[in-house]
């Protein structure tokens, strides 16, 4: 990862992430009610300490969210979301040595965060035209998540959504190198659809676009294992993310950074070894 190199695959406000290895996006929720870690990092000092800890553990990106999007959530107004972000963001941006992503579906919040120096906008509502217009001229990375499902053909649905958003990005002058696609595990999809999307990344990815898998501690990782508590779903999360990585995902959004980094580095090595192996006689 570096700045201003010519081989960018995912570009974000001067940072470039060549898709030659897997990148780990560490989750930092500054919310009172997120499904897994709500309330732990509301205090600005605690948030900064956690951001720095994730960097030390090997996080390539810090993803900061100030609004829970757990199942059944009630949206908070954009002013409240921004107040939570504004309390922690300046200190994190001052200290961070990696790109900082903002998890928001409010164009106004996105603009304010980017003006402070954030690098990526991660929009779980699917990056509609209003968001694309708000960030078009900023150079930020854009994580485009498919928020819907429960359809006859989940692969055609998600890929069609991505193609439509790629076309929209072009109309707003947003290059495909700025896009990172997220199939939206846990958002409007059946358990079978979630499992299929994790297992078959290649059926929804697009050439030239980064691809993010974000299954960390979600219900899909508990379902095959007797639904243990959120904090006990690390092994299942690692299995899901490693499968997605070997299938073509280049970024993983995680709660548990250090184990995710180890698993990704090993999987990357195995993928390279497999690609280099001679064909059997």
Catalytic residues: 218, 253
CA–CA distance, 279 with 193 (Å, rounded to integer)? 33
- Among the listed residues 30, 31, 29, 26, the one whose alpha carbon sits nearest the alpha carbon of residue 54: 26
- Give SS3 for 3: strand
List the 2-3 sheet strands across, edge first: 2-3, 15-17, 10-12
DSSP structure class, residue 255: S
For 38, 74, 202, the CA distances from 32, given in Å and listed in that order, are: 5, 12, 36
What are the start-end ranges of the E strands in 157-245? Answer: 179-182, 210-213
Sequence-separated (6 or more) residues with CB below 8 Å from residue 11: 17, 139, 141, 175, 177, 178
Place of tokens 């997605």: 244
DSSP structure class, residue 62: E
DSSP structure class, residue 76: P
Maximum Cα–Cα distance across the chain? 64
Q: Answer whether 7's CB lies under 8 Å from 17's CB.
A: no
User: Phi and psi for 40 in degrees, rounded to 5?
Assistant: -75, -30
């Amino acid at each position: 990862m570096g700045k201003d190199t010519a081989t960018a695959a995912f570009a974000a406000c001067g940072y470039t992430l060549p898709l030659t290895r897997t990148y780990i996006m560490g989750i930092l929720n500054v919310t009172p009610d997120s499904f897994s870690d709500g309330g732990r990092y509301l205090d600005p000092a605690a948030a900064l300490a956690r951001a720095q800890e994730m960097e030390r553990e090997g996080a390539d990106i810090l993803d900061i969210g100030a609004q829970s999007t757990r199942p059944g959530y009630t949206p908070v107004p954009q002013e409240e979301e921004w107040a939570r972000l504004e309390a922690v963001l300046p200190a994190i941006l001052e200290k961070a040595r990696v790109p900082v992503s903002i998890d928001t579906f409010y164009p106004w919040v996105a603009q304010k965060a980017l003006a402070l120096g954030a690098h990526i906008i991660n929009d779980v509502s699917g990056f509609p035209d209003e968001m694309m217009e708000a960030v078009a001229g900023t150079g930020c990375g854009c994580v485009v998540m498919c928020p819907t499902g429960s359809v006859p053909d989940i692969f055609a649905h998600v890929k069609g959504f991505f193609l439509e958003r790629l076309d929209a990005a072009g109309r707003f002058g947003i290059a495909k190198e700025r896009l990172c696609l997220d199939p939206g595990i846990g958002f409007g999809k059946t358990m079978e659809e979630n499992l299929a999307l994790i297992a078959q990344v290649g059926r929804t990815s697009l050439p030239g676009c980064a691809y993010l898998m974000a299954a960390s501690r979600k219900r899909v990782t508990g379902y095959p294992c007797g639904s243990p508590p959120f904090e006990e779903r690390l092994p299942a999360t690692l299995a899901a993310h490693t499968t997605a990585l070997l299938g073509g995902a280049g970024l993983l959004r995680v709660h548990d950074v250090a184990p995710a980094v180890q698993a990704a580095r090993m999987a990357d090595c195995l993928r390279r070894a497999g690609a280099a192996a001679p064909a059997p006689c």
